[in-house]
Chain A
């Protein structure tokens, strides 16, 4: 089966800056693919390369097996949901949604019916006659989505579409987007800098840093087995253990990542299980965060952060504690 989108050694240079640096990538048909990275990591440029707003400096991109070399955006069967929605202010919501169909030359009655259907799909029935300026951020977001989906694209590109929404709305939209993607079976390529969003929505995540993909895999793979220190730090928070520390506490003599929630905090004197690694030290800080309490403990000169459900017994700063973790929860990293 051909990939929906395929990058072969793609680079995009802006002057001396390698915004995208030799990226190769396969996005499978029907996949919800997230590009995750800090700002300036090249993820948005990759999206713009797929949309056709940018052309690669070298390498090639194909969409469903078709080479896109020199193909302008209006000849590509992909549609984009823009970060700030880019709704046409001089058209009604209905005209916005029907825009792509109008350009294709569909008759007015047909395209109005389809636009109404698309608006219904994003739960904005009867909003067709309004102006974009009369809508809230979340509603504009939905209009942008309907405007892209009504064209039945083979690939839907989403450029930080939820970035401007508040937390509640964002969580709601995440669910709806995921549901829509399942329902329509369209390949979604989703750019975000929010790791929670990427992990919760995507089938597969690519982590970008400095124009390169540092790791790609399922959310579980990325979270449980970060291959580099960058991934370990960027996706969730992580304790990075040096080879010396790791080997002294029963792990491999390699750089390892240890997630805070994998560490159990035990009162002094309570021993860890036989198959568990452990370390002892004083509590450096206790940080109550509602659902969890993050406790930082200084062990052998390094600071280990733990995350425990807040219902457990309260610890105080300076108290000596035992830390225990299963050896299996250590993720060995490639370098650093």
Chain B
């Protein structure tokens, strides 16, 4: 027998060879523990908190099941925060999709070699630098005395900025203190998260399907509408999950670039910090999850995942 000469690793390999299930269990145990205990566990704790309520007099949390906290979400001020955030997230998602699609389409169907490498670099590079730095850079760009105003003044286009800022509700004293500014920065920050999945989806559309549709009489526009776009739609949905949920939960961008009106993320931040109202903060953070759930259910209903 040679067994006694084998090293520990070889003997371990023998055991795993005879019992392949053991290796699977060993490999999966750490991530499963992580997901169940740390991830789902804390999510559950959050959910639990949202069913507690704050005692108005003592400021202490009453650990009893109640829906009062969720009721507070419907207060006018809180309801406006939710509506404002959802509108912003929808606008950002729509803009990202519209801007990302042509870029992704070019990269997936036409770019090759060096151009393609440059494309990846251009899309990914902004992700390498700090998110805070980028947001502050945008504040400088959009500020009253910022780069954009300066360029506009040189080109005699200040009137465009003024016209934008004078728009009701989305305007403001300067681009950096308006919804337009918040929107622009969100679109900039999340755009790569839309481009990459859309590009991946477009790459997976087989060339012969496009040929087949042309063969069956479809002009390029019809091919796009009936074959390319439906097949790329799961990518758009995947991208929109990123842009939508990231915008829903963000509390830094609207704080640095934007007016003083709160978004959900900021509300959570304030409520769990200074206000100490953990239950309401928890209830607020459940809102994006519910909205995403509804969004995905609608997307599935509309057949967005049929091509998967």
Residue numbers of A with Cβ under 8 A of B are 51-53, 72-74, 78-80, 82, 84, 86-90, 99-100, 102-104, 147-148, 151
Tell me whether B222 and A103 are in contact (CB under 8 A). yes
| Closest beta carbon of chain B to A14's beta carbon, Å | 15
Known contacts A86-B209, A90-B307; is A103 also within 8 Å of B231 by CB? no
Q: How large is the interface on B (under 10, 10 to 19, 20 to 34, 35 or more residues)?
A: 20 to 34
Docked complex Cα distance between A148 and B206 (Å): 19
B270 sits at the interface (CB 8 A):
no
| Closest beta carbon of chain A to B217's beta carbon, Å | 5
Dominant SS among interface residues on chain A? mixed
Dominant SS among interface residues on chain B? helix
Known contacts A88-B227, A89-B231, A90-B231; is A151 also within 8 Å of B217 by CB? yes
Residue numbers of B with Cβ under 8 A of A are 206, 208-209, 211-219, 222, 226-227, 230-231, 303, 306-307
Docked complex Cα distance between A72 and B216 (Å): 11
Q: Which of A52, A86, A102 contacts B208 (CB 8 A)?
A: A86
When distances are taken between beta carbons in the complex, the residues of chain A under 8 Å from B216 are: 74, 79, 99-100, 103, 147-148, 151
Closest to B218 in A: A103
Closest to A99 in B: B216
| Closest beta carbon of chain A to B17's beta carbon, Å | 34
4 A-B pairs closest in CB distance: A100-B216, A86-B212, A73-B214, A90-B307
The number of inter-chain residue pairs (CB within 8 angstroms) is: 64
When distances are taken between beta carbons in the complex, the residues of chain B under 8 Å from A86 are: 206, 208-209, 211-212
Tell me whether A99 and B208 are in contact (CB under 8 A). no
Docked complex Cα distance between A72 and B222 (Å): 14
Known contacts A89-B307, A90-B306; is A74 also within 8 Å of B212 by CB? no
Tell me whether B215 and A79 are in contact (CB under 8 A). yes
When distances are taken between beta carbons in the complex, the residues of chain A under 8 Å from B303 are: 90
| Closest beta carbon of chain B to A309's beta carbon, Å | 44
Tell me whether A103 and B217 are in contact (CB under 8 A). yes
| Closest beta carbon of chain A to B306's beta carbon, Å | 5
When distances are taken between beta carbons in the complex, the residues of chain A under 8 Å from B211 are: 51, 53, 73, 80, 82, 86
